[in-house]
Amino acid sequence: MNLIIDVGNTFIKFAVFAKGELVFKQSITHELGLKNVKKIIRDYPQLKKGIVSTVGKEDQEIIKIVDKHIDLVKLTSKTKLPFKNKYSTPKTLGVDRIALVSGSVDKFSKNNVLIIDAGTCITYDFINKKNHYLGGAISPGIRLRYHALHNLTANLPLLEAEYPEGIIGDSTSQSIHSGVINGVLKEVDGIIGEYHEIYEDLTVILTGGDTDFLAKRLKNSIFANSNFLLEGLNFILEYNSH
């Protein structure tokens, strides 16, 4: 059994994989992380190895506890990866993006793949059928856009994400919803369309916290998988275990 730890800016995700299958998943606040990882180790004594990916603040106590019980891999730019990294600044490539690209190698090898992660930021990552990672794009995510409108202006309210009633907002709230949500949908569909113009045989994967919110509203054909990053981390762990 494998323990996967994904430390984000707001939450920590824990997952347990058995023979490649996800058998447990939990997303909690950083404050509860140490208590919960101890419980997971007790509940799954079959755990043999694990991997930790950190894009937020690293929790040394969690790492120490896990490292005492199982063989732990800490994902960095120096970790052995299942693809050729052609990024011009490989040391700055986020470990979350590394995990997503690795997941595409596992699930869609020898394909042109665009992975879209809709979370705090929306990241776009492309790997070609030659197994070369070429790069992508980063833009503000849905909640970041709502917060920016509120924090950087004097009078606009902070709203929760909501589908707009139409393209024409007839109130300030509806105008914000229309601008944010329609803007994100048009951006994602537009970028997918541009990739399709270059690569006709393109596989598109949508993942991240806003997967379900966006998936049904996109015009392009996609594979929606909210667990894709966790699966990618598990694949990197297995790849480094041989």
- The alpha carbon dihedral of 242, 53, 215, 185 has a sign of negative
**What does the block give as tokens for 175?**
């105008």
Q: Determine which helix (DSSP H) or strand (DSSP E) holds 103, and give its type and residue range.
A: helix 95-107
Distance between CA atoms of 238 and 240, rounded to whole angstroms?
A: 5
Instruction: Please report the pLDDT score of residue 34 as a whole number.
Output: 83
**What does the block give as tokens for 45?**
């004594």
Please give the angle made by the CA atoms of 180, 185 and 186, to the nearest 5 degrees: 100
Domains of the chain and CATH, by start: 2-74 (3.30.420.40), 84-233 (3.30.420.40)
- The DSSP output letter for 87 is -
What's the pTM? 0.92
Give me the amino acid identity at 204. Answer: V
Instruction: Please report the pLDDT score of residue 185 as a whole number.
Output: 97
Listed residue (197, 222, 194) closest to 210, CA to CA: 222
Q: Determine which helix (DSSP H) or strand (DSSP E) holds 235, and give its type and residue range.
A: helix 228-239
Instruction: Please report the pLDDT score of residue 113 as a whole number.
Output: 98
Instruction: Please report the pLDDT score of residue 32 as a whole number.
Output: 84
Q: Is 18 helix (H, G, I), strand (E, B) or coil?
A: strand
Q: Which of 59, 96, 117, 210 is catalytic?
A: 96
Note down pLDDT in tens along the chain; length 242 residues: 999 999 887 788 999 999 999 999 999 887 888 888 999 999 999 999 999 999 867 778 888 989 999 999 999 989 999 999 999 999 999 999 999 999 999 999 999 999 999 998 999 999 999 999 999 999 999 999 999 999 999 999 999 999 999 999 999 999 999 999 999 999 999 999 999 999 989 999 999 989 999 999 999 989 999 999 999 999 999 999 87
96 noted as active-site residue:
yes
**What does the block give as tokens for 193?**
């369309």
Distance between CA atoms of 181 and 183, rounded to whole angstroms?
A: 5
CA 78 to chain centre: 20
Q: Residue 219 in contact with residue 189, Cβ under 8 Å? A: yes
